Amino acid sequence: MSASDRILVQRLEKLQELRRQGVEPYTNKFFPTHRVNEVINRYGALSGPELEKLNSTFRMAGRLVLQRHFGKATFCHFQDESGRLQAYVQRQVVGEEAFSLFKKLDLGDFVGFEGTLFRTRTQELTLAVTSFVLLTKSLRPLPEKYHGLVDMEVRYRQRYLDLITNPEVRQVFLSRTRIIALIRHFLESRGFLEVETPMMQPLPGGAAARPFVTHHHALDMKLYLRIAPELYLKRLVIGGFERVFEINRNFRNEGLSILHNPEFTMLEFYQAYATYEDLINLTEELFGYVARELLGTLRLTYQGQAIDLSPPWQRLDLRESLTQLGNIPANVVYDKTALLALAKKEGVILRPGEGYGRALTKLFDLLVEAKLVQPTFILGYPTETSPLSRRNDDNPEVVDRFELFIAGREMANAFSELNDPLDQRERFVKQMEAHTSGDLEAHPLDEDFLTALEYGMPPTAGEGIGIDRLVMLFTDSPSIRDVILFPQLRPER
RNA sequence: GGGCCGUUAACUCAGUCGGUAGAGUAUCUGCCUUUUAAGCAGAGAGUCGUUGGUUCGAAUCCAACACGGCCCA
C-alpha cells in the first residue's frame, strides 16, 4: 500500500470512528460572524488588555493549515478566503472529550471555532477557542507546509492545491478579476454597452486563425468556436449600438506556449464616429487607469524590465521600425523585390498570394517585436494583411490601424473599420484566393456580414486587447498559464 | 515538429565511480499548557515516470515512449 493510500485509509477509519462517537464529520449550518481579515483589520492594533476588555465572542471558520500540539493545549492556524489566524485550544477550556477530538483533527480539515481574542507572549493576535465543531473532514494530505506546492504540473492540474498553498497565486487571480472589473468600469463610464455575441459561429471570422470545429446535431450543421467576436460586434454597430464591448473567450486551434492558450480572454470594443487615432488616446488612458487603480503608479516592472506607461507612448511606422530596430536598410525595406528576397533568406515562407505586406509583418515579428519593451504603437500596416481595416485616405496600400507592443509582445490591435461593402467584398475574395492556395488562416467570405454592411455602418473604430497578456503584464507573470486558472494541458496517462 | 532540461515516499528534495533507497515535512505512537517551519523519543511509508537494452548487478549507462518546463519553428 502506498503512503497516500495508507493516509486515505487511516482517515477513512477516523471518519468511521468519529461517526461511531456521534461526531458528524460534515456538519452543516455553521455561520461565522467574522472573517479573518475583518478581525485583523478591526482588532489587529489593540493591545492584550484592550482585547480582553472587548469581552466579545467570535465565530470563525476555515481550513486547518498548521498545528502544534502540546500535552494539554494546541496552537493551530486556520485560513479562510481572507487570510490566516492562529487559534489556541486548551483542554481545561473545551473539556477533555472535545480536546482529544481536536487532537485527532488533520491538516486540511475545515473547523468552525467560537472564542475570544487575545495576544500571545509573542504578541500574535490569536483566537482563544471556547468551542469548536468539525465542519468538513479532509481525506487527503495537503502539500508541504513550508515549501508549498512547487511541481508545475500538479499546480496546473490541481489548481485548488496551488490556491490553498501559495498565497501569491491567489493574489494573481484576485488581480485578474480586479483588472477586468476596472476595464468594465472604464468603458461603461464612457458610454460603452457590454454585450454577448455568439461563441458558436457558422463561419469563423474576425481574425486570422484556425478554428475548433463542432457539430450541432438537431440542425445537422457544422459550427465553429469563435476566433473573434468582431463581425458580430460590427453588426451591432450597424444595428445602432454606437459603443459596444465584449469581454469573453476566443478559441484558436494552435499550439500551446508561454503566450498562447487555445482558449483565451479578449476584450473587443467598437466606437462609432471615432478613428483609430482616437483609440490611441483611449488605449493610453485605459492602461493608465488600470495601472493607477491597481498599482498606484504608471511605472511597473515586468520580469526585471522597467516599463513606463506614462503617455504619450512612442508611435512608429511599421517600415520605419524595420530600418530603425530591425537594422534592415531603407532601400531594402521600401523595395518590394529586395524585401521579399530578404524575407526568404530569414526563413519566412510565403504562400502564393502572399507578398510584400506579409513579408513586412513577418520580418517585424522576427526582428523588431521583441525589442519593443516600452509601450509602442506600430502604424502603417499593409492592406494585404488587414482584410477588415479601412484603407488610408492618402495611401491605399496601408490601412488606418495600429498594434500596441509592450514588453516585447503584442498587447492590442485596433483600426478604423472598413465600412465600404464593395471594398470589403473584394478583400474577402482575395482572402478566399489565399485560402484556396493553402492559407488555412485566411478569412472566409461572410455573405451575411456583407449584407449587414450594405445596410450601412457608420464610420467606426474598433480594438481588441488580450486580457490574459494584460494580466500577465500587471501581475509580473512569466507565463499565460499563470493567469489562467485551468490552462490547457495534455491529458494525463 | 526540432533542441535542451526535468520526472526518486503524499509534499519539498539528496542519492558520489553501476553494488540493490535517504533526509525534512506530513502520518502513526509516547512526552509536553504561550507555540511560530514548536521541541524531544520512536515507528511505518518507494513499480526510483513507462517499456526495452547493456551488465554478474541499473535510480545511476543506452534507446524508445509518456507527461511537464524552457527555447526554436
Distance A493 CA to B61 C1' (A): 27
Distance between CA A87 and CA A324 in Å, rounded? 62
Query: CB under 8 Å, gap of 24 or more: what pairs does A291-294 form?
Result: A291/A474, A293/A178, A293/A182, A294/A175, A294/A178, A294/A179, A294/A182, A294/A474
The nt closest to A150 (CA vs C1′) is B12
| Grid coordinates given for A357 | 505586406
Distance A103 CA to B31 C1' (A): 15
pTM exceeds cut of 0.90: yes
Q: Which amino acid appears at position A14 of this protein?
A: K
Q: Are A463 and A268 in contact (CB under 8 A)?
A: yes
| CB count in 10 Å sphere of residue A103 | 14
Distance A103 CA to B27 C1' (A): 13
Q: Strand B: which bases are under 7 Å from protein Cβ?
A: 1, 9-13, 24-28, 31-39, 44-47, 66-73
The nt closest to A93 (CA vs C1′) is B33
Binned average pLDDT, 10 residues per bin, chain A of 493 residues: 75 90 93 97 94 93 96 96 96 95 95 96 96 95 91 94 94 97 98 98 92 95 96 98 98 92 96 98 98 98 95 97 94 93 86 84 94 96 95 96 96 98 96 85 94 98 97 96 94 75
Write the DSSP assignment of A452-481 as a string of letters: HHHT---SEEEEEEEHHHHHHHHHT-SSGG
Distance A79 CA to B36 C1' (A): 15
Residue A5: what pLDDT? Answer: 74
Residue A1: what pLDDT? Answer: 59
